Amino acid sequence: MLKLLYTLDLTSYQKEFKQYLDQKNWIREPKNLYEPIDYIIQLSGKRIRPILTLMASDILSGTYKKAFPAALAIEVFHNFTLVHDDIMDDAPLRRGKKTVHEKWDLNRGILSGDAMLILAYQYFESYTPEIFQKLAILFSKTALEVCDGQQLDIDFETRNDVTIEEYINMIRLKTSVLVAAALKMGAIVAESSEQNANLLYEYGVNLGLAFQLQDDYLDTFGDPETFGKQVGGDIIENKKTYLYLKAMELSDEEDKQKLEFFYKQKLEDNSIKIHEIRRIFERCDIPALIQKLIHEYTEAAFDLLKNMNISELNRQKLKDFGSFLMARDK
């Protein structure tokens, strides 16, 4: 029953944000710059980050409509990171469709992504100077942290001594801080207390870690029809995710050698590589171990909600959102 009620709330946020998006005229001159922006924005997605901004504002002030510009900023910035991330990963698919650089070319992907970053900042201009400053400070800090995380992700591909602790820090920077910032931006727009804003931020960090670990799991063990990206992409790109690092801890010598061998290869046909790596992960019980870690971070997020000065109904709403998010396409 709670899931049904929450899904209705989520659908309402999604619907109104989509209507707000549709009012924007993305395509203008030069069209070669803005058509890729319109393309990536219009691709269907759950729009989790802007929904978090709207929800935080709604919970803390009783209205979410004033948070639309901030929500749009976080959505445009997130899509900017996807465009550039896909270029660096040489990914062919995003949300089941061609990535921007595959549909057009590398130069347009890079330049359109740059324009999206600038557009994101412009959406803060509708707020008062005090709120604008707070949003801009948080946004700049978050944007740089995302870049830090992306560089660490790239560095890890060629390192053989990456630890699980380092990996968790990398995904915190690359993914979690943007989820956390989306929530805190809603609190800033709502002019909430600093305590509530900071607790929401930490809730977002933990939820973001759980979300990214779930994404790592689905990248290897997900259904291509529902995942929306190329399954096995992390294996192809030799990304040392939690699955790989934990398998290196637990594997016997023969499987360790196989992992090390395959993670040094860039192959044209990756089917055997993906198959063999998956078998090693399964022998080490990695799917169960990562699901346990996902649960731990999700529960840590929920524990933070106990200290927020909000109603029990709103506390439950945030908890339901986390449960809904973690139930996706296991």
pLDDT digits (tens, 9 = 90+) for 240-265: 999 999 999 999 999 999 999 998 88
| Structure confidence by residue, pLDDT tens digits, 18-56 | 999 988 888 889 999 999 999 999 886 788 899 999 999
Task: Give the tens place of pLDDT for each residue, 100-129.
Answer: 999 999 999 999 999 999 999 999 999 999
In one-letter notation, the amino acid at residue 247 is: A
pLDDT score of 6 more than 50: no
- Report the run of H or E that residue 308 belongs to, with start and end: none
Per-domain boundaries in the chain: 2-326
Rounded to an integer, the average pLDDT of 291-307 is: 95
Q: Is the dihedral of CA 26, 27, 33, 38 positive or negative?
A: positive
Torsional sign, CA 307, 310, 313, 315: negative
Find the length of the chain. 330
- 282 pLDDT exceeds 60? yes
Q: How many CA atoms lie within 13 A of 300 on its CB side?
A: 16
Mean pLDDT of all residues in 58-63:
92
> What's the one-letter identity of residue 200?
L
Q: Return the CATH fold of 2-326.
A: Farnesyl Diphosphate Synthase (1.10.600)
In the predicted model, what is the mean pLDDT of residues 53-81?
Answer: 95
Q: Which residues contact 100 (CB under 8 A, 6 or more apart)?
A: 36, 39, 40, 83, 86, 87, 94, 108, 109, 112, 113
Residue 56: exposed, middle, or buried by beta-carbon count in 10 A (0-12, 13-18, 19+)?
buried
> Which H or E run contains 104?
none
CB 181 within 8 A of CB 203: no
Mean pLDDT of 71-80: 95
Pairing, β 93-94 against β 97-98: antiparallel
Q: What is the mean pLDDT of residues 127-151?
A: 96
CA 317 to mean position of chain CA atoms: 20
Count of C-beta atoms within a 10 Å radius of residue 2: 12
- Nearest Cα to Cα of residue 77 among 166, 163, 168, 147: 147
- Is the sign of the CA dihedral 137, 142, 148, 150 positive or negative? negative
Percent of the chain whose predicted confidence (pLDDT) is above 90 = 72
pLDDT at 2 over 50: no
Region 158-162 average pLDDT: 87
